Structure 1
Amino acid sequence: MGRMFKALIIVPILVIRVPAYAEQFEVKNPPSSQSISYQQPQASQDTPLTELLSIPSFRSSEIKQPYSHLAELYEAAPKAQLELEDLAKTIAHKANGSVLSAGLKGQERAQEKVEKELNGDVTRLTDIVRITVETDSLEDLNSAYAQLAASTKTMEVVNRFQTPRPSGYRDVKVLVSLPESQMIAEVQLHLKAISAVKNGKEHTNYEQIQRIEREANLHDRAMSDYEVAKIEKLRRESRALYDNAWQRYLPLSFAV
């Protein structure tokens, strides 16, 4: 019997739970020349990297704000923002991270989004109250996510470490229902080096791409070959910046 027990190998199994009210979905890149395929590192054991890549993307079947009029939403929003910031500070402290706050979404921009993107439905406006938690290690990012999930009702997760954007950008975006105000809020979980790229050179590239695309849309025309080539060049630069930032967090066996 002793020999049989010695022969057993216990393999740790990572279990990530998805709320029963949620449905998993696949996050896809847009089907165009802008898409790029990223080969994810494959770890053979339970590590911070496998834990991060195992956070599932999902969306609850119904995500709605508790208010149907924009004025009501903005009347309740300041208190909800304070609630979110207090929660984020607690999470960041325990995860060796920091909190970045842009404050409430501007009401003019919110009104525009409701009219042009949400078919007039204010209850679908989920990013008025928002916060960013930034860490500088995979372990701390996992810790921040675990604390957030334990402290709120998680309504949606988009894990862009599993499926990066075409630019190479990676984060975990979470929509939560705050326990006191019951408002839906957006939380972005960042790695410090990737956040620095987003708010630095890559932001300049993004703005240039937006200007080129807006110019074509404004005149209701297809982009010229030069404009397409310019955008592709800017995207390649962005991918290189983001990929270099991501490399610093990978175990040495995965870094290239």
Structure 2
Amino acid sequence: MNKFFRTLFIFLVLLSTRQVTAQPLAPVDKQDDKVPFGLNLGTNNALDILYSIPDFQAYQPIQQSADLIDLMTQADLAQTELGQLLSVISQQNKTTMLLPAAKSYQRALQKVTHKFEGDARLITDLARGSIVANNVDDLMASYKMLAENSEVVQIKNRFANPKASGYRDLNVLLKLPQSQMIVEVQLHLQTIANIKSGQDHKHYEQIQQIEAIASIEHRPLNEFEIQQITRIRQQSHKQYHKAWLVYKRQAITTDYPQAA
């Protein structure tokens, strides 16, 4: 009898071991299928996806060198690399690429001295560019390609959190794969970009002039000047808001393509 139970026990142990080893492995997520940072593709509406991108900083954006002259040399290479990337993106998404001239050494030195207390590692816009889209779908497709082809270091989503003036854009700091330099890319919508460079710039100059007069006279702004500035800012906000409403209505009727 004891021999029977011993044989049965050994049989059950062997059966249990066989069942454990025969279990399939848990599925492993494919890294190649990861969604670019900030893109919540649970919805196919481009406007919802844009709103869902959070303000974000992976780490403090710091360049690899503290020597401004060295950084200026690196920036020339990075600007070329960025230009190639933005050119491909703009061609595929029917957007406009803007690639300004690199910052001059004097302007860069002034910014490092006054804003960053002499720490050249903190300057992130020596190489920079912009993408201007005609609709939210093209803007989101452009951001997706940026995130897929470089490292997202920081995001300021001014579409979800606009400036007090009503201005909106997507400001992104990226680390480029070849130069390993941190660069700045702004993603704009065309009408909003036009307002910023046109009428809003004039409004900015008007406010600066009013404030300069008070500064020269060593006095605070008077009530009339405050009312002037308030009225000017309200005009800017009204223009930006009107332009954004057009893009919102347009985006609501358009679906963003789902990831493959």
TM bin, normalised by shorter chain, reads 0.7 to 0.9
* Alignment-mate amino acid for residue 139 of structure 1: D
Question: In structure 2, how many angstroms separate the alpha carbons of the residues matched to 1:58 and 1:69?
Answer: 27
1:151 to 1:107, Cα distance in 2 relative to 1, 3 A: same
Give the corresponding residue for 1:241. Answer: 239
Q: Which has the higher contact order (CA 8 A, sep 6+)?
A: 2
- Equivalent residue runs for 1:48-87 within 5 Å: 48-87=46-85
Give the corresponding residue for 2:118. Answer: 120
Determine if the alignment matches structure 1 residue 193 to structure 2 residue 179.
no
Question: In structure 2, how many angstroms separate the alpha carbons of the residues matched to 1:66 and 1:146?
Answer: 26
CA contact (8 A) 2:46 2:251 kept: no
CA contact (8 A) 2:136 2:251 kept: no
Could you give the per-residue CA deviations for residues 23-56 of structure 1, whole angstroms, max 9, x where no partner exists?
xxxxxxxxxxxxxxxxxxxxxx641110110111
1:16 to 1:87, Cα distance in 2 relative to 1, 3 A: closer
Q: Secondary structure at the match of 1:165?
A: coil
* Deviation of 1:67 (Å): 1.4
Could you give the per-residue CA deviations for residues 131-155 of structure 1, whole angstroms, max 9, x where no partner exists?
0001111111110111001111110
1:96 to 1:213, Cα distance in 2 relative to 1, 3 A: same
* Deviation of 1:220 (Å): 5.3
* Deviation of 1:62 (Å): 2.3
Give the corresponding residue for 2:16. Answer: none
* Alignment-mate amino acid for residue 183 of structure 1: M
CA contact (8 A) 2:135 2:251 kept: no
1:209 to 1:121, Cα distance in 2 relative to 1, 3 A: same
Question: In structure 1, how many angstroms separate the alpha carbons of the residues matched to 2:89 and 2:81?
Answer: 13
* Alignment-mate amino acid for residue 102 of structure 2: L
CA contact (8 A) 1:16 1:56 kept: no
* Deviation of 1:211 (Å): 3.0
Greater share of residues in helix: 2
Give the corresponding residue for 2:228. Answer: 230
- Equivalent residue runs for 1:206-221 within 5 Å: 206-217=204-215, 221=219
What TM-score comes out, normalization by structure 1 length? Answer: 0.78
Structure 2, unpaired ranges of 5+: 1-34, 254-260
Question: In structure 1, how many angstroms separate the alpha carbons of the residues matched to 2:176 and 2:212?
Answer: 36
Q: Rg bigger for which structure? A: 2
Could you give the per-residue CA deviations for residues 90-130 of structure 1, whole angstroms, max 9, x where no partner exists?
11111110101222123222111111111111000001111
Question: In structure 1, how many angstroms separate the alpha carbons of the residues matched to 2:216 and 2:130?
Answer: 33
Give the corresponding residue for 1:129. Answer: 127
Match of 1:144 among 142, 145, 151: 142
* Alignment-mate amino acid for residue 133 of structure 2: T
Give the corresponding residue for 2:25. Answer: none
Q: Secondary structure at the match of 1:131?
A: strand
Q: Which moved more, 1:68-77 or 1:245-254?
A: 245-254
* Deviation of 1:249 (Å): 0.8
What TM-score comes out, normalization by structure 2 length? Answer: 0.77
1:102 to 1:252, Cα distance in 2 relative to 1, 3 A: closer
1:76 to 1:214, Cα distance in 2 relative to 1, 3 A: farther
* Alignment-mate amino acid for residue 213 of structure 1: E
Match of 1:178 among 163, 176, 183: 176
1:221 to 1:59, Cα distance in 2 relative to 1, 3 A: farther
RMSD: 2.2
* Deviation of 1:201 (Å): 0.8
Give the paired residue count: 216
Structure 1, unpaired ranges of 5+: 1-14, 20-44
* Deviation of 1:163 (Å): 0.6
